Amino acid sequence: MSDLSVEMIAITKTFSGVVANNSIDLTVRAGEIHALLGENGAGKSTLMKILAGAYQPDSGRILIKGREVNLHSPADALKQGIGMVYQHFMLVETMTVEENLLLGLHTVDLIPNRKKLRTEFESLSKQYGLDVPLDARVWQLSVGEKQRVEILRLLHRGADILILDEPTAVLTPQEAEQLGHALRQMMSLGKSVVLITHKLDEVMQFADRVTVLRSGENVVTVDTATTSPTQLARYMLGHEMARVQRAHEQTGDEIILRAQGLSALGDRGLRALSDLSFEIHKGEILGIAGVAGNGQRELAEVLAGLRPLQNGRVWIRDKDITRNSLDRTVSQYLGYVPEDRLHMGSVPGLAVSDNLILKSYRQKPFSRSSLLNFSAIKKFASRMVKHFNVVTSSVDTPIEKLSGGNIQKVILAREISIAPEAIIVSQPTRGLDVGAAEAVHRLLLEERKQGKAILLISEDLDELLLLSDRIMVLSGGVSMGTIPAAQADIDELGLMMTGVNRTSHQQMQSEGQMT
């Protein structure tokens, strides 16, 4: 069992004059799960990249077991027993899990003993509850399995303190629960874990202690047993958070978006959607629930014109848009907010103003005689930034420099500004802190109030229950049924997500009551 403890003392780090960390103190004890909580841009990842050796501080000290160390690289940090799993995994997709675990491994033998190492991998996997298929290629794994490979690699290389950056941001509820079991097992064996997060429920569920950062400074460190989500939110934001409240108001009778018999293939040529039909009324939010990889992304891309249909048709009101060109479909009828906001929903290197007109730059007043009207573009962008409360130093700032919440606001502003009749929104608050998520929720509810038909795809059941009027569950690209959100039961939704048709579930319940 390790007794490794770490102290970070007065750590300061700036980037181009912007202070990311301002004289932060942090202590991580041996055998604890320590959450690092804060809004996007609070300085959490920067501080942990310093501890992991990826960044060097401008000033401050790091002590390990009371001895000061200088961590010039991740390799230095790993020698001291510290390793980090980033949000974007560093695995070679075409190689097997075992080959990825072997990459960069330094052994005494010129030719590694593969059999011995495989036994070690299997033993560690069993010991920490990190089940991974060693012979599978990485591209075949789920996101949760890829994460377990990264953790297993660090454990095999002697890490006693593991830093996990937003570990559940892309996990299904089931995968998040499996991760929680693995973390508790690590803690029981003396390992320490630092969770970089902005999720209050994650902190309360997993962590022993929590340090809250705000604007690059340490606000407080407390035991989770002595605090509450409300108090932590107050520490994070600096004020009370006004929760979104809504009643499930009556929607209009008019059908805005209608899909019939949709069938489509996934990226690997396998059936991803099968005979899917639904409709969305004026002023209605239809939520789509399901475990990741059950046709949600393909559905969004089919509707947005990004993926071809094998069968089926799509209408906006009485207009058949199934065979429309991508440009006409998206620009005239549909707004689309994809799940990958930085690389698919925006152009990272372009300015905020450029991203705001990506779908309308050919139109007046932004274009005159095939030339861009920069004055009109800047005026429009300034108005959108103000209206949607986008935090940016300038409309000329590259969008990649903004926080995740502000990037999402820019994308929503662009999609809403084209005045579509329907909006497809996929994973709208994934990776966002509570404040940014609340702002996105308010924007969506305001569009609903304005009569928009909204298709909301989310893996967050609480979000679906809060925002949706009805919830359709997908499993294997097939609808398991649609439930009014006001009548939805999480247990029933969870069962449907595993592939149980709602009608069959109701029959089983009825038969059970009869017997």
Give pLDDT tens digits for 452-479.
999 999 988 888 998 999 999 998 899 9
CATH of 255-514, one of 3.40.50.300, 3.40.50.170, 3.40.1400.10, 3.40.50.720: 3.40.50.300
Query: What span, in angstroms and rounded, lies between the C-alpha atoms of 294 and 475?
Result: 5
CATH C-level class of 6-237: alpha beta
- At 226, is the secondary structure helix, strand, or coil? helix
Tell me the pLDDT band of 17, cut-offs 50, 70 and 90.
Answer: confident
Query: What span, in angstroms and rounded, lies between the C-alpha atoms of 157 and 348?
Result: 35
Return the beta strands (E) in 269-372 as ranges: 271-281, 284-289, 311-316, 319-320, 334-337, 367-368, 371-372
User: Between the CA atoms of 131, 133, 139 and 145, what dihedral angle is there, to the nearest 10 degrees?
Assistant: 0
Question: pLDDT tens digit string along 304-349?
Answer: 888 889 999 999 988 888 865 455 555 567 899 998 888 888 998 9
Three-state SS letters, 177-190: HHHHHHHHHHHHCC
Question: pLDDT tens digit string along 124-153?
Answer: 888 888 888 899 898 888 777 888 899 999
Q: Which two tokens stand for residue 334?
A: 């549909």
Q: Calculate the average pLDDT of the chain.
A: 85
For range 377-386, the mean pLDDT:
92
Question: pLDDT tens digit string along 245-266?
Answer: 665 566 778 999 999 999 999 8
Query: What span, in angstroms and rounded, lies between the C-alpha atoms of 443 and 424?
Result: 13
Q: What pLDDT does 1 receive? A: 47
Sorted by where each begins, the domain ranges of the chain are 6-237, 255-514
pTM: 0.64
Amino acid identity for residue 10 in this structure: A
Burial of residue 220 (number of CB atoms within 10 Å: 0-12, 13-18, 19+)? middle
Tell me the pLDDT band of 172, cut-offs 50, 70 and 90.
Answer: low
Question: pLDDT tens digit string along 156-168?
Answer: 988 999 999 888 7
Top pLDDT among 462 and 481 is at 481
For range 355-372, the mean pLDDT:
84
Q: Do domains 6-237 and 255-514 have the same CATH topology?
A: yes
Top pLDDT among 189 and 382 is at 382
